[in-house]
Amino acid sequence: MPERISDAEHVVMEVLWDESPLTAQEVVERVPEDRAWSANTVKTLLGRLLAKEAVAHEEDGRRYRYRPLVAREDYVVGESQRLIDRLFGGSLTPLVAHLARRDQLSSREIEEIESLLKELKQ
Amino acid sequence: MPERISDAEHVVMEVLWDESPLTAQEVVERVPEDRAWSANTVKTLLGRLLAKEAVAHEEDGRRYRYRPLVAREDYVVGESQRLIDRLFGGSLTPLVAHLARRDQLSSREIEEIESLLKELKQ
DNA sequence: TCCTATTGACTACAGGTGTAAATGGGCAGA
DNA sequence: TCTGCCCATTTACACCTGTAGTCAATAGGA
């Protein structure tokens, strides 16, 4: 059972999911600018992710290269399910209904979802 | 800009969304049993929700009656959007795709969503 | 009138989180 | 060999969160 990944840690995970393995320095460089984190902050987060066994590191000379242990897919599904359980009694339909009604769905999106569903029915 | 409502606070909000206004004691009685909170815990949460202006209270004799200031609809849409922004670049389609592929969608749900979308297209 | 139960306010406290500075070991250049 | 730099680890610290105990006021019963 992997421990929960916090918001800040998630940002680091996204970097590693996008490309890995990376050194701490490389992660620092790839963190979105709007975060404006110091290198130390990123290293702290990497350390915590190591402790949570969400990433692993392998030695590479005198540095480490980090790579994810948790699949993005699993994280994403887990978080989504958590939200849906908490807010919609576990069913996806009301979420779609909510967002759709709030005009969050363009007709392009509607069609995308429709064709997705058509595939699934087969 | 309302402050973020924590998980535990959200449980209290659900009670008040379901029925309000309620006294602190009544909220305590309606909190789901699996939480097993002491009355003090619930009162602390109510106090924090007051501070965050997520609920208001009006005097009623020597007690207060609490009622939500934040609409459930707003909270739900806000949290959903937050997740979708964080994980899916703001678009709902990949969320549906993910959950659907992971077999989270029964054929009944698929049909519900389909008919929902059909309505929206009109 | 005095005691007790109730109620809201205040305080507590450990663990998580966001953010980072201090520290210590090794390597490369002077 | 000394010195500064780079890297990972350790420590720090304030704030949030979950969970609850204590206190003071008050109202109702004895």
Express each pLDDT in B32-76 by its tens digit.
Answer: 999 989 999 999 999 999 999 999 999 988 899 999 999 999 999
- Three-state DSSP class for residue A46: helix
Closest CA–CA distance from residue B63 to any residue of chain A (Å): 30
- The reply to whether A62 Cβ lies less than 7 angstroms from strand D is yes
Which residues, in sequence order, are bridge partners of residue B102? none
CA atom of A22 to C1′ atom of D6, Å:
17
**Hey, what are A30's tokens?**
């790839």
User: Under a CB-based contact definition with an 8 Å cutoff, are residues A87 and B14 in contact?
Assistant: no
CA–CA separation, B47 and B45 (whole Å): 5
pLDDT at A36: 85
* Contact status of A121 with chain B (Cβ, < 8 Å): yes
pLDDT, mean of residues B2-27: 94
- Return the H-helix or E-strand segment holding B28: helix B24-30
Q: Who has greater pLDDT, A105 or A21? A: A21
Chain-centroid distance, C-alpha A14: 6
Predicted TM-score (pTM) of this structure: 0.88
**Contact between chains at B98 and A10 (C-beta distance less than 8 A):** no
**Contact between chains at A92 and B73 (C-beta distance less than 8 A):** no
User: Under a CB-based contact definition with an 8 Å cutoff, are residues A56 and A62 in contact?
Assistant: no
Per-residue exposure over A23-38, b if at least 16 CB sit within 10 Å of its own CB, e if not: bbebbbeebeeeeebe
Q: What nucleotides of chain C have any atom within 7 angstroms of a protein Cβ?
A: 6-12, 16-22, 26-27
| Nucleotide in closest CA–C1' contact with B4 | D16
